[in-house]
Amino acid sequence: METTLRGVGVSHGVAIGEVRHMGTAVLEPPAKQIPAEEAEREQGRARQAVEAVAADLIARGNLAGGEAQHVLEAQAMMAQDPELMADVDRRIAVGSTAERAVYDAFAAYRALLAGAGEYLAGRVADLDDVRNRIVARLLGVPMPGVPDSDEPYVLIARDLAPADTALLDPTLVLGFVTEEGGPTSHSAILARALGVPAVVAMPGAGELVEGTVIAVDGSTGEVFVDPSGEKRAELAKAAEERKALLSAASGPGATSDGHKVPLLANVGGPADVPAAVEAGAEGVGLFRTEFLFLDDSTRAPSEEKQVEAYRKVLEAFPEGRVVVRVLDAGADKPLDFLTPADEPNPALGVRGLRTLLDHPDVLRTQLSALARAAEGLPVYLEVMAPMVADRIDAKAFADACREAGLQAKFGAMVEIPSAALRARSILQEVEFLSLGTNDLAQYTFAADRQVGAVSRLQDPWQPALLDLVAASAEAAKAEGKSCGVCGEAASDPLLACVLTGLGVTSLSMGAASIPYVRAALAKHTLAQCERAAAAARAADTAADARAAAQAVLSGE
């Protein structure tokens, strides 16, 4: 009998196939004592296992490329963390085996992260995966992972580690469903990069019986168990209609009556550029520069290395707009040479622009590198600061840009409610705004973006969040300046129409989402988008907001 389950749709498309579960295993090693004379040997075993796991993660990242590469390189650094390894050595010295020492040291670190207000919950999942890989190697057992199958299937998991998600074969894994995670988790981000339909944060996913046929709609978040022939035909028809729309829509982003909405790409480095160009991105709306700094958490990359990397991205978009976000360090992106290790709540501490203003030499070098990288290129360079709270922050950043001789527009990200509420004040110092809806939702609702249990409050359709977007867009319009969205909200085609109706002037997203958003905008007039936006803001819940906007845009 057909039943319908609902989670959070995070990657467009429909997948129909049999359920296969991610392999699981109990990887807690026994607690037993070793003689003192074996300690040195066990410490050597632990180091060898750590280095092997780190090398494997880096190799997987090199194969996957793009966003996945940066995620897996960060995991490799996590495995080699010197404080963790010192703790492992101490535990072995007092009698633990290598595998038990690794297990307990990681457990202690995990508890510290959880005690930091759970902001790092997403990184805790990554930490668990690293621990399991090291322990499995020491025990001589295979890591649980993606099931072997000759036939395509839908993958079900409690959550997916980046190392597994990055190398999924889209010809075999038709789509996936996870019990945990959220719309901005690594699983969701990598699913969109792969173009695999996905639903996360779905209660009861683990109870689906192996071999059961399910249909996954990554756009709506619905999962149909034992779908009827009629339902399959309905989903297939919808998929064909989407495909036809994608083929028909081309060129710059615009509504059906010609209102231009530039569609830009979010990139993490040069490896992401080919997909953005192929998708027809009109430029880059968010160039995350952290990838350069994650290579070595103990020191900043040289100015020369930065110039080389930035120029590769800038060269790919002649006459296009490239918006670069300066280093966003802190919280879930700690760097040993910049961020304090003992902050009680890193999410509310020294992160983003605050970190850079505390280390002006790092900011100065990055701005100088950007200035040099853009020399002689016909590109419209714009540089923005993360985590701007008020006009004082905005002025400090603009002053730093001018002092570095940067010939570019200076902007501020709106990720903190205070910035949205006082956007007009901030725009006295900078020339544009860019809304980071992921963090803006997190701080508006006090809901960690990595915790599946509060994913309801991370829904970008929340009317309160739409109010903050509207306030920012209205302020920018009043000042004659631009206000874009570079958070994951822009990748939802229906929400993209609503954002346009709220007054947002550009949309930036993962490359895979650009064709869907382009097609959706091309179907509707600006007036329809504005009516849909008003209807969404008048609702009381995220679900009602989506339904209200859908009703307007479908003519119901």
Known catalytic residues are 186, 486
156 contacts: CB under 8 Å, gap ≥ 6: 19, 20, 21, 22, 176, 177, 178, 205, 206, 208
Residue 258 per-residue DSSP state:
-
User: CA geometry: angle at 235 spanning 233 and 240, to 5°?
Assistant: 90
SS3 state at 222: strand
* Gap between the Cα atoms of 73 and 186, Å rounded: 13
What is the dihedral angle through the alpha carbons of 335, 442, 187, 21, rounded to the nearest 10 degrees? 130
Residue type, 113: L
Nearest residue to 85 via CA among 104, 102, 110, 107: 102
Sign of CA dihedral 540, 544, 550, 556: negative
CA atoms within 13 Å, Cβ hemisphere of 448: 20
What distance in Å separates the CA atoms of residue 522 and residue 212, rounded to the nearest whole number?
38
Q: What is the DSSP string of 395-449?
A: HHHHHHHHHTT--SEEEEEE-SHHHHHTHHHHTTT-SEEEE-HHHHHHHHHT--T
CB contact at 8 A, 275 and 190: no
Tell which residue, 80, 78, 102, 83, has the closest CA to residue 91: 102
What's the distance, CA 379 to chain centroid? 26
C-alpha to C-alpha distance for 430 and 477, rounded to whole angstroms: 14
Pairing of strands 8-11, 198-200: antiparallel
